[in-house]
Amino acid sequence: MAEATGRIGPLTLPTLIRSLYAQKQTGTLLLRHDEISKTLYLDSGRVVFATSTDPQDRLGQLYLRRGMISLPALKQAASASSAEKKRLGTVLVQMKAIRPQDLVWGVTEQVREMVIGLFQWTRGEYIFKDGLLPSNEVITLKMSTSDLLMSGIKSIQVWARIEAAVGDLDTRFLTSPRIEDLAKEMTLTLDEWTLLSRCESGATLGQMCEESPLPDFDVCRLIWAFIVVGLLLKEEASQVEVIG
């Protein structure tokens, strides 16, 4: 895959990121929506960094939202960063506004929030270009792409998107033969494992909604997430296929 382009729809991004991960692609995924653009850096399919033109994705605003720095400290650091041509995080550490370990946490959380925010996009365009990453610019982060996908889908609140992904009440699901290997890189809750175990011998969407203590909305959203990361197989017309 030298280059791939396409339009973003209600179900596009989770499947696209999962596909690049499954193919172990290395390169950059540029996504545009209105005036905002974000770039994901992929190393063998894993999201290792991200950049964004959205002001809400700035590192300083992350620290401010979490109550880790004051507004005067942010403004002082922003001015110094611009004047001295230094990264904002570096300036905040030099000012002793944050600790060095807070910088590592902040950059990781910043990338995570950038990626999860993408899951709200239902229109726009994307361009993937394979090739080596600019190692002098990119800080490699160790993040579970499957966990990112799960978190992103669990942030979606639009029922029409979830319904389109999971199908009707009589749609039947089975756990993947690769579930143990796939789950090794993920952090699943007890409720999530319980829902997955219900599909070991096959179960319909209606059965899972009826038997799970979770709200039906949450059950359906989790099923979509499980399909995308490959933990569940969706059976249609007497044939089992991997979706996403």
Tell me what pLDDT residue 240 has: 42
Kindly state whether residues 73 and 24 are assigned to the same domain. Answer: yes
Kindly state whether residues 144 and 230 are assigned to the same domain. Answer: no
Kindly state whether residues 131 and 22 are assigned to the same domain. Answer: yes
**CA dist., res. 184 & res. 186, Å (int):** 6
Tell me what pLDDT residue 136 has: 62
Kindly state whether residues 63 and 136 are assigned to the same domain. Answer: yes
Tell me what pLDDT residue 1 has: 61
Mark residue 22 as left, alpha or beta (left: phi above 0; alpha: psi -120 to 50; beta: remaining): alpha
Kindly state whether residues 170 and 93 are assigned to the same domain. Answer: no
Task: Mark which of 103, 125, 156 sits at the end of a domain.
Answer: 156
Q: What angle do CA 180, 214, 224 make, to 5 degrees?
A: 55
Q: Would the pTM count as exceeding 0.95?
A: no
Kindly state whether residues 24 and 91 are assigned to the same domain. Answer: yes
Kindly state whether residues 162 and 112 are assigned to the same domain. Answer: no
Residue-number span of the structural domain to which 183 is assigned: 157-241
Kindly state whether residues 138 and 192 are assigned to the same domain. Answer: no
Q: Which residues contact 79 (CB under 8 A, 6 or more apart)?
A: none
Number of structural domains in the chain: 2
**CA dist., res. 218 & res. 216, Å (int):** 5
Tell me what pLDDT residue 113 has: 93
Kindly state whether residues 11 and 128 are assigned to the same domain. Answer: yes
Kindly state whether residues 73 and 51 are assigned to the same domain. Answer: yes
Tokens matching residue 231: 């933990």
Kindly state whether residues 185 and 125 are assigned to the same domain. Answer: no
Q: Flag residues of the chain having pLDDT under 50.
A: 237-244
Kindly state whether residues 27 and 112 are assigned to the same domain. Answer: yes
